[in-house]
Amino acid sequence: MKTADQLAVDGPIRRVLVANRGEIAVRVIRTLRRLGIESVLAVSAADRNSMGARLADRTVCIGPARAADSYLSIGTLIEAARGVGAQAVHPGYGFLSERAEFAAACAEHGLIFIGPTAKQIERVGNKLEARRCAGEADVPVAPGGPVENLLAALALAEEIGYPVLIKAVGGGGGRGLKRANTPAELTALFDLASSEALAAFGDGRVYVECFVTQGRHVEVQILGDGESVIHLGDRDCSVQRRYQKLIEEAPAPSLTDTMRHELHAAAVRFSEHIGYRSLGTVEFLVDVARQRFYFLEMNARIQVEHPVTEQITGLDLVAEQIVVAQGHKLRLTQADVRLSGHAIECRINAEDPTHDFRPAPGKVSAVHFPVWPDLRVDTHIEAGAMIPPYYDSMIAKVIATGGTREQARKLLESALSEVRVDGVLTNIALHRAVLATPEFSEGGFDTGFLGRFLAGSGAAAFGTTTAQTSSEGKR
């Protein structure tokens, strides 16, 4: 069997425009460098001196700092890719990675989009269409459906029972997502959810879905070539704050063998049904009380949390993406995928725990991450780096791998005690506090875990008021 590295360089792609920033840009550039494929990083004016700009073979400035004028400008990125003679574009995650218009524009101008097809992005990006596809593939979906107005929403909620979620048809990430426990709350929140959805996604349509009070967020990594699909194991992402993931791990703990097998099979069925190409993640909500699961959505891109899957499979997922983008069929069968050990990842954000975790941009005066066996750090920061106020606040991911979950947890806990990021506030202390809780140590908690923890201890229990002490962290 040929390796991913051998196949990734066998094809038309010789130069790639990396249409992203931050740690994912650095991550992609490093794989391209190892493969001998030239990287050109698209940078805004705010990122001219970033680590990614230093590591890339070339850079091209695509506009001012504001994302709408740079990283979200499809025409500018297409022009940049053609101008530097790139054969392909890697969108990373976020920004335009799940915009069907971007994938379509690449194809229209003869550029290879390192990801799924525009049609696939469009199908799974529309949550109602994705639910329909799941039903056709015999993948269970949570009770609910589309609603045209408040009266329809109230009728459906009465039918499926409270609490319910109001969800945006055109997006995710917690935007336009509201929980209603009563008809009065649904009445008060319906128009707000629709307005938020319209502002965030240009689509004000919403649907109503039953809310599982004890639910776990479990997702399955898949890889397809348009014909065949395999899974690369599962992840648990139940440590969330306001629907934003904070800690992820692979494999998901405390699942029965039967449940795990059914989740994997459902993810593959869904992906095969739409003829999926490239990397993707099928997300599920596991009902802890009933031991059932429901389809949530599919993310048609590489995920922030992909390193934990890489750590337990030994695969470079970016390289596997490029293999498919070069036009090759899958080099692996399901039997070739071997899962070994356990990996846990913490997202380090530049934010202030004492002020509702608001972003805390600034200049990093010093930084230290321990270099240990089985410890991986994906980051774009270094001493002197500026954390701009215009983008996502994540500055690093710290990933620990062990033969068992407890070994990985202890390693991560020890590593975070030595991480130092001076000059900006971070959430490192929160991570250390969470990792030390008996509930996290036991595993199998639901998505309400972090909210209960914060309500019980309060941010002041681990927050700080200065950048220096915050970076060192306290329990």
Spatial neighbors of 146 by CB under 8 A, at least 6 apart, are 128, 169, 205, 206, 207
R_g of the chain, CA atoms, integer Å: 22
Spatial neighbors of 5 by CB under 8 A, at least 6 apart, are 34, 35, 316, 319
Helix (H) or strand (E) holding 250: strand 244-250
State the first-to-last Cα distance of the chain, in angstroms, to the nearest integer.
49
Question: What topology is assigned to 143-210 in CATH?
Answer: Dna Ligase; domain 1 (3.30.1490)
What superfamily does domain 215-472 belong to in CATH? Answer: ATP-grasp fold, B domain (3.30.470.20)
Pairing relationship of beta strands 15-18 and 38-43 according to DSSP bridges? parallel
**Domains in the chain: boundaries:** 4-114, 143-210, 215-472
Residue 252 CB neighbour total at 10 angstroms: 25
Task: Cite the beta strand spans of 410-467 per DSSP E.
Answer: 420-422
Question: Is residue 432 helix, strand or coil?
Answer: helix
pTM reported for the whole predicted model: 0.92
Q: How far apart are CA 45 and CA 192, in angstroms?
A: 35
Residue 347 in tokens:
């997202």
The pLDDT value given to residue 173: 64
Q: How far apart are CA 286 and CA 215, in angstroms?
A: 5
The pLDDT value given to residue 418: 98
Spatial neighbors of 159 by CB under 8 A, at least 6 apart, are none
Which residue, among 250, 215, 253, has the nearest Cα to 233 in the 3D structure? 250
* CATH architecture entry for 4-114: 3-Layer(aba) Sandwich (3.40)
The pLDDT value given to residue 148: 93
Peptide bond into 251 cis (omega under 30): yes
Q: How far apart are CA 4 and CA 421, in angstroms?
A: 35
Residue 26 forms beta bridges with which residues? none
Helix (H) or strand (E) holding 222: strand 215-225
Helix (H) or strand (E) holding 398: strand 394-402
Spatial neighbors of 94 by CB under 8 A, at least 6 apart, are 20, 24, 392
Q: How far apart are CA 294 and CA 74, in angstroms?
A: 34
Residue 2 CB neighbour total at 10 angstroms: 11
**Cβ-count burial 105-120 (b if 16+ within 10 Å, e if not):** bbeeeebbbbbbbbeb
Q: What is the pLDDT of residues 361-406, one digit of tens each?
A: 999 999 999 999 999 999 999 999 999 999 999 999 999 999 999 9
Assess contact for 127 and 145: CB atoms under 8 A: no
Look at phi and psi of residue 272 and say left if phi exceeds 0, alpha if psi is from -120 to 50, else beta.
alpha
Residue 420 forms beta bridges with which residues? 368
Question: Is residue 358 helix, strand or coil?
Answer: strand
The pLDDT value given to residue 461: 59
Assess contact for 392 and 22: CB atoms under 8 A: yes
> From the candidates 301, 347, 409, 432, which is the catalytic residue?
301
**Greatest Cα pair distance in the chain:** 61
Q: Could you give the angle at the alpha carbon of 394 between the alpha carbons of 192 and 470, nearest 5°?
A: 105
Assess contact for 174 and 245: CB atoms under 8 A: no
Question: Is residue 193 helix, strand or coil?
Answer: helix
205 classed as catalytic: no
What is the mean pLDDT of each successive set of 10 residues along the chain, which is 475 residues long?
A: 94 98 98 98 97 98 97 98 98 97 98 98 93 96 93 95 92 79 96 90 90 94 98 98 93 97 98 98 94 95 98 98 98 97 98 91 97 98 96 97 98 98 96 96 94 77 40 30
Phi and psi at residue 222, to the nearest 5°: -125, 160
